[in-house]
Structure 1
Amino acid sequence: MKGNPPRRARVPVLDGIRGLIAIGVLFMHTAYFAGIMDLGPVKGVPVINWLTVGLTIILTPFFLLSGMLLYKSFAKATFTGTSGPPVKAFFARRLLRIVPTYWVVVAAALLLINFASINSVWYVVAPVLGLHYFKNTDSSGLIPGLEITWSVVTEVLFYLLLPVAAALINRYARNAAGDPARQLRRMVCCLLPFVLIGPAWEIYTHLPSMGQYPIELFWPPMFFGVMALGMVLGALNAYHDVTGKVPGLYRLAAKSPLSWWALAFTLYIVNCIRPFDKAGSSDYPPISQALLDHVLTVVWGVLVLVPLIAPTARSRVMDVVLGNKLSVFLGRISYGVYLWHFPVLYFAFRAGSLFGTAPMMEPGTIAPWLLVGEVLLGTIVLATLTYYLVERPAGRLGARIAKSKAAIPTASL
């Protein structure tokens, strides 16, 4: 079977969505400390507060893309009956992609923000190994400046589990060798049950006995189901590449790509309203709202991403919004933007060891848009530096390792 070549023209669009999401996450977190969001005693800024609270929905495409792009090569190997990516090369390339920059940010947070708080070897070793969200000296896992690194832990654990999961799925799907459609159905049937992990974890972490904001809320099971859904998309793309046939989901997206984004915007508005909670509030939600949050987040991510990866979908608007030079550049440095914006928040508030262990100032004590501007500028500068000085060299090293082991090239769209 001879399939169509990968569509590299779509890569800039995927970079663009990464970039805009990273900036959205930065704005959402900065908005709280700027006093824009209505959280606890902070009054917030009407309308802007609601729109900012709604941004809690936007993170899912990161995890969908990870599952899709990484599983695609494994799925393609199943369809073609060839060997998948060499495991050692896969691990080396993936870990070099995220760990070096992560370690730089960890070092900065420990030395510049938390140096006075280091009271044991474990306080340093835990975040270096990504274990701080499971067990830390104060049992919280929330080391100042590293609050959002739970996602890095989730990604690394996904990397470790993916080759095993792919091998098991491959064994089952290859029993239908010679029938790609049947193989695809088997892959999907293996993966879809894992989508239920997220809602189940939401229920568990929102039980009254867990209290508010338990550390388990940030553990990997919360987004493993989303990554499994991303793997489903990777299988669909691999099926198209090998057979040249467009799966039904992608044909539907190609009919009217912008209607998918219109539906995604509707879900965003619903998330702003929060029907089972206080409208515009980002306080810890009841279990009904938490489940709705999870469903909205997953469906929103699918609605945003599928029109971008569907092989025959075309949208001038999407190309302009996501394929322009600024969006693509932000996408390339998006990992650094995501990791750096919390340390930069502490720097903006002159908090931590670098400033004499001054405590974090209360939200709203700095002019809102001044704070947003400072954090945005500082984050982009640091993310750009780590991209060129750390990420790109590490990526080239990973590519050389993969090439030396005759690895299948990283999937592109």
Structure 2
Amino acid sequence: MPKHSLEHMRKQTAPHTPGSEPPKQTWLSGLEGPRGIACLSVLLVHVSAHYAPNIVDTIRIDFLGQGLTFFFVLSGFLLYLPYVRKLFAHKTQPSTRRYFIARVRRIFPAYLFIFLVTNFILQASYVVNPVSVGWTTSDAGTGMITNPFHLLAQLTLTQSFFPSTLQTGLNPSWSLTVELTFYLLLPLMAMGTFWLSRKTSISTLRLALIAPAVLIVVGAVTTSVVIALQDANPQLTPLERFWGPNWIAVLSRSFLALADNFAMGMIAAVVYVAIGGGALKAWSTIRIQAALGVTVLVFLATALCCFVVAPRVMATPFAIASAALVLLIITPLARGEHSSIAAVTDWRPIKYVGTISLSIYLWHYPVMLLAERADIPVPATYFGVLWSFAALCGATIAIASLTYVVIERPAMRLWA
């Protein structure tokens, strides 16, 4: 669940025509707050599942776990945006070397620091898949990873590629493996797009939509395969199907199965740049935002319906709603206008949570396991969930703040 605050805080250029005044510059703001809310949503799900699974089963709070889908959509948007800008401006592809340096320094310093401390000092890593031992009100299955192969997988963020290491180490870090796969594939897709722009007469808009279209197909096909494999193996429990130490779970947690989430963010980047270039000129900004607001509500409702009747496909409509939400917040910025919504979503406390969300996301499970070892009593009630959530947030945000100042921020400034 990495963030890209340096990328999305870069200055944006409003549309202009030859002979007009120099374009206004605005900040692409308003996205850290929603990132923070998504992060806290994931924490609430994990706290509830750990201390009060009965409450999860009763009110199905696990829907909030779709905060991860929002992270994937946001990554697709922010990372594809520089490529789309260059493509629409008929310029060369952004530097792949600088891109990879930025991606490595964004994830690995914080991840490696937190993993090494958790594994070798706190000895609170999952050494086996928690589905095998149970992760409810227990630290069973945790300790220090010493197996050389397993350790290498953790250090390279490839643990989610193998059944024996899936969900081990910092178990929420499986999503970083998904992100890492996207990071590796994006420049290759962009390279193909820019090559087509030189060799064909396909319109820029259509060219920019080819890569996300391919990812949508990949995601749909892989999800269909996952569903077929799960149905063909009824001996697996619902948890084992998605999180257990088996190849079906590995495929379900892979980038291939989640590719369409990133694609929705990429499409949002294309729409954003197109609007900034003069698309939908006949529509006022308020009208565009109204249409986007309706889109958010419709697809959020669709995701909720899928959650009840077809949970294995709910991420796709939620991803569409997430992409529409991103555009709802920042569309005025594409036209050099002020975004009142961005001013609200970047409320300082929640914006700060979004800023340090990577460290929060990686630290919260070790902190929860340490609390478990300390035998801190947490009743399996609504009050118990709220109390433990507040306590976990306080402790994790404090530790994450220190990690951000000492590790994350200096790493992001390195080679900047």
TM > 0.5 fold call: yes
Is the alpha carbon distance of 1:129 and 1:361 closer, same or farther for their aligned partners in structure 2, counting shifts above 3 Å? farther
Q: 1:205 aligns with which of 226, 231, 255?
A: 226
Q: 1:24 aligns with which of 26, 41, 61?
A: 41
SS at match of 2:161: coil
Q: 1:141 aligns with which of 120, 143, 166?
A: 166
SS at match of 2:87: helix
What's the offset of the Cα at 1:393?
0.6
Residue number in structure 1 paired with 2:94: 85
Alignment partner of 1:236 is 2:271: yes
Residue number in structure 1 paired with 2:255: 220
Residue number in structure 1 paired with 2:324: 303
- 1:166-221 Cα offsets, whole Å, 9 max, x none, are 010112134467x9xx2112221443132132232222223234532223221111
Is the alpha carbon distance of 1:120 and 1:248 closer, same or farther for their aligned partners in structure 2, counting shifts above 3 Å? farther
- 1:277-302 Cα offsets, whole Å, 9 max, x none, are xxxxxxxxxxx4312x1333222322
What's the offset of the Cα at 1:93?
1.1
SS at match of 1:58: helix
For the Cα contact (< 8 Å) 2:33–2:350, is it kept in 1? Answer: yes
- 1:213-270 Cα offsets, whole Å, 9 max, x none, are 22322111122222123222223333344x3434899966324554444445534653
Residue number in structure 2 paired with 1:245: 279
Residue number in structure 1 paired with 2:130: none
In the TM superposition, what are the counterparts of 1:52-201 in structure 2 within 5 Å?
Answer: 52-111=61-120, 112=122, 113-114=124-125, 116-135=143-162, 139-144=164-169, 146-175=170-199, 182-201=203-222
SS at match of 1:81: coil
Residue number in structure 2 paired with 1:280: none
For the Cα contact (< 8 Å) 1:33–1:363, is it kept in 2? Answer: no
Is the alpha carbon distance of 1:220 and 1:257 closer, same or farther for their aligned partners in structure 2, counting shifts above 3 Å? closer
TM-score (norm 2): 0.76
* Sequence identity percentage: 22
SS at match of 1:148: helix
What's the offset of the Cα at 1:105?
1.8
Q: 1:289 aligns with which of 287, 291, 311?
A: 311
For the Cα contact (< 8 Å) 1:174–1:183, is it kept in 2? Answer: no
Number of residue pairs matched?
361
RMSD (Å), alpha carbons: 3.3
- 1:1-53 Cα offsets, whole Å, 9 max, x none, are 99455864441x11111111111111111111120x4xxxx36585xx23x13
Residue number in structure 2 paired with 1:332: 355
- 1:312-367 Cα offsets, whole Å, 9 max, x none, are 58764x345412111211111111122221112211211xxxx7xx9x99994993
SS at match of 2:166: coil
Q: Report the Cα distance in structure 2 between the residues aligned to 1:91 and 1:71, rounded to whole angstroms.
A: 14
Q: Report the Cα distance in structure 2 between the residues aligned to 1:226 and 1:131, rounded to whole angstroms.
A: 20
- The one-letter code matched in structure 2 to 1:205 is V
- In the alignment, structure 1 segments of 5+ residues that lack a partner are 277-287, 400-413
Residue number in structure 2 paired with 1:348: 371
Residue number in structure 2 paired with 1:390: 407
For the Cα contact (< 8 Å) 1:10–1:308, is it kept in 2? Answer: no
Q: Report the Cα distance in structure 1 between the residues aligned to 2:379 and 2:254, rounded to whole angstroms.
A: 27
In the TM superposition, what are the counterparts of 1:349-388 in structure 2 within 5 Å?
Answer: 349-350=372-373, 364=380, 367-388=384-405
For the Cα contact (< 8 Å) 2:87–2:194, is it kept in 1? Answer: yes
Residue number in structure 1 paired with 2:289: 254
- In the alignment, structure 2 segments of 5+ residues that lack a partner are 1-12, 17-22, 126-141, 243-248
- The one-letter code matched in structure 2 to 1:59 is L
Is the alpha carbon distance of 1:289 and 1:44 closer, same or farther for their aligned partners in structure 2, counting shifts above 3 Å? closer
Q: Report the Cα distance in structure 2 between the residues aligned to 1:2 and 1:166, rounded to whole angstroms.
A: 24
For the Cα contact (< 8 Å) 2:302–2:317, is it kept in 1? Answer: yes
Q: Report the Cα distance in structure 2 between the residues aligned to 1:383 and 1:99, rounded to whole angstroms.
A: 15
Is the alpha carbon distance of 1:121 and 1:372 closer, same or farther for their aligned partners in structure 2, counting shifts above 3 Å? same
- The one-letter code matched in structure 1 to 2:254 is W
